[in-house]
A and B are shown apart, each in its own frame.
Chain A
Amino acid sequence: MKNKKNIIYTAIAIVVYLLLFALVETGTASRQMQNLIVPVLVNIILAVSLNLIVGFLGELTLGHAGFMSVGAYAGCMFTVSCNLPVYIELPVAFVIGGLTAAVFGFIIGIPALRLKGDYLAIVTLGFGEIIRSILNSMDIVGGSGGLKGIEKSGNYTVAYVLMIITLIVISNVIHSCHGRSIKAIRDNVIAAESVGVNVVYYKMFAFVLSAFFAGVAGVLYGQNLGILKPATFDFNKSIEILVMVVLGGMGNIKGSIIAAVILTVLPELLRDLADYRMLFYALALIIMMLFSSNPTLVEFRQRIFSRSKREVN
C-alpha cells in the first residue's frame, strides 16, 4: 500500500512538471503566469518548512522571512562574487544559503529551547527585525538599495526540483521516528521526556531543518528575481507564510502546498483588490483559528462536513 502511494505521488510530480513545461515552452501561459511559477514554488518551500515548526513542533515563529533573507543574501553573494559555470555555481549557492540559514536557525533555536509560546514568537519576530536592520545598514550587500546584478539562473525547472526535494525530505522526516518525536513534543513535552524523547535535540533539529529550507527558498527567490532588498523580508512576509500554513491546516503538508499556490496566484489575478489582501489574511487567520479551536464552532463544522460526506456517499 505504501508503494502504491509512492507511485501515485511520483506520477503526480511528473505530470505537474510536464504541464509546467508545456505551458512555458509552448508559450500558452501568459508572461504574467510564467513569472508566477517560481514565486509559487518558493512559497511552497517556505510554507512547508514553516509548517514543520508551527504545525508539527507546535511552536510559533514569526521570523521565517529572516531565515529566508539570510540564506538569500549568503547564496546570492556567492553567485555574484564567483564566476563559475552555472551548473556548479547554483547548487553550491543553494547549499551555502541553506547552511547559513541553518546556522541562524541553530542560534535562534537556543532561546527557543528555553522559551515557548508568546516569548518565542516575540524573540523570532525580533530576530527577523535584527536581520533586516543589519542588512539595511550593510553596504557590502547593497544596504537598503538592495543586492543587484544577480544572475537570473533560478528558472522553473531548478525551482521545481528544489520543491520536490523539500517535500520529500520534510515528509520523510515527519513519517519517521524523528517526526514522531517532534509531534510527541508538540502534544506533551513532559510525557515525551518520560519516554526518553530528547526534547532539546529534536526542537533544535526542527528549527535547523526548517531554517535550512527557508534559506534555500531565499536563494531561489534571489536567483529568479535578480535583486534582493531587505524590505522584502519584513514581518509581513513572515505573516504571509504563516497565513499559508494556517489556511492549509497546521500539520498538513498537502494543505500548505495548496494554500501556497492559491495565496500566490490569487493576489496576482485580483490586482484590483490588492488593498483587501491584508484584510483577507487577517480574516483567514481569525476564522481558521475560531473554526479549528472553538468547541461550538468545531462541532458546527464537523456537522456540516459529515453531512456533505454522507451526501457524497
Chain B
Amino acid sequence: MALVDIRQLGISFGGLRAVDNFNLTMDDGQLYGLIGPNGAGKTTIFNLLTGVYKPTDGEFYFDGELMNGKTPIQINKKGIARTFQNIRLFSNMSVIDNVKTGLQAKYHYSMLDGILRLPKFGRMEREMTDRAMELLKIFDLDGEAEQLASNLPYGKQRKLEIARALATDPKLLLLDEPAAGMNPNETAELMNTISLIREKFKVSILLIEHDMSLVMGICEKIVVLLYGRVIANGIPDEIKNDPKVIVAYLGE
C-alpha cells in the first residue's frame, strides 16, 4: 500500500481554483519533487496536506487513513512534518529549544512533573537534549545550540527548520524551497544532507524547489504543476524532455 495517496484533491478561494484534480501516490522512502512556476499552487498543496487549508474536494489518504478534516496538530501526530517557504522559526527561543519543541510529543511528561520537578522531568529533559543535539549535529548546528534562532544566518535557519520538522519523527517530510537563498555550495551541501536524512530516518520526502539542479539531481520522480493542475508526472529524464513542461517554463 502506498504511503501517500492523494485523489482528485482541489481547493477554491472564492472564484479562484488554486488547485484542481491533484493526484499523487508516494511509496515509503520515496523522494518526490514538486515543481512549477510561481503561483502554480505548490505551497497550497502543502497547506492542504498539513491541514492548514481544508480541501474543497478530493481525498487525501496517508498510511491508509483519510486525512481530510484533520487539524494540523493531528496530521503532525500521524507523521507528516513540514518546513515553510518563508521561514517560521520560534525566533525568540534558542536553537536547541526549537528542536526540543518538536521532540516534546515523544518525550512527554505531565504538568505536575514539570512544576514539582519530579524525577521524570529530569530524565525526559536529558533525553530530549541528547536527541536534539544529535539532530543538530546532522545539520552542523550543534555549535550554535544555545544561540537565539533569529541570530542564525539565513541558510542555517532553513536547516534548523528541517531539524525541527525531523524532531517530530515524521514518515513524510514536506520541504518548501529548502535551498531558497542559498549559494551553490550550500545547495550542494543541502542535497547531501537531504539524501542522508532520507536514509537515516527512513522518511519519504516531498520537495518544492526552484533550483532545477537540486530537483533533477536527487528526486526519483517529479510532478509538475501549472495553474493548479498537474501537467506532467514522471522520472526526471521524462520531465526534462516533456514539451508541456518546457513550454510552461520557457514559453512557446
Chain A residues with CB under 8 Å of chain B are 168-169, 172-173, 176-181, 183-184, 186-188, 190-199, 205, 251
Contacts and interface: CB of A to CB of B under 8 A. Distances in A.
> Chain A: interface secondary structure?
helix
A205 B77 CA distance: 21
Q: Which 8 A-B pairs have the closest CB atoms?
A: A176-B114, A187-B90, A191-B88, A193-B72, A196-B76, A195-B102, A177-B104, A188-B88
B92 interface: yes
B93 A183 contact: yes
A202 to B, nearest CB: 11
Given A180-B101, A195-B165, A196-B105, 15 more contacts: A172-B116, A173-B114, A176-B114, A177-B107, A177-B125, A177-B128, A178-B114, A187-B91, A191-B88, A191-B90, A193-B71, A194-B88, A195-B168, A197-B101, A197-B104
A173 B125 CA distance: 13
Nearest to B174: A194
A23 B183 CA distance: 65
Nearest to A168: B115
A292 to B, nearest CB: 12
A196 to B, nearest CB: 4
A191 B84 contact: yes
Contacts of A176: 109, 113-115, 121, 125
B172 interface: no
23 contacts: A172-B116, A173-B111, A176-B115, A177-B128, A178-B111, A180-B93, A180-B104, A183-B90, A183-B93, A186-B92, A187-B91, A188-B90, A191-B84, A191-B88, A192-B101, A194-B50, A194-B84, A195-B167, A196-B73, A196-B104, A196-B168, A197-B73, A251-B92
A187 B148 CA distance: 12
Contacts of B84: 190-191, 194
A190 B89 contact: no
A77 to B, nearest CB: 28
Contacts of A186: 92
Contacts of B90: 183-184, 187-188, 191-192
B158 interface: no
A191 B93 CA distance: 13
Given A180-B93, A188-B88, A191-B90, A196 B108 contact: no
Contacts of B221: none
A168 B128 CA distance: 23
Contact of B93 (A172, A184, A197): A184
A188 B86 CA distance: 12
Interface string B81-107: 110100011111100010011101101
A92 to B, nearest CB: 21
B52 interface: yes
Nearest to B105: A196
Residue with the highest number of chain A CB atoms closer than 10 Å, among B89, B93, B115: B115
A297 to B, nearest CB: 18
B226 to A, nearest CB: 27
B81 A194 contact: yes
Contacts of A172: 114-117
B159 interface: no
Nearest to B71: A193
Nearest to B91: A187
A205 B115 CA distance: 13
A251 B148 CA distance: 15
Nearest to A177: B104
A229 to B, nearest CB: 34
A188 B113 CA distance: 26
Contacts of B89: 187-188, 191
B164 interface: yes
B236 to A, nearest CB: 29
Interface in B46-92: 50, 52, 71-73, 76-77, 81-82, 84, 88-92
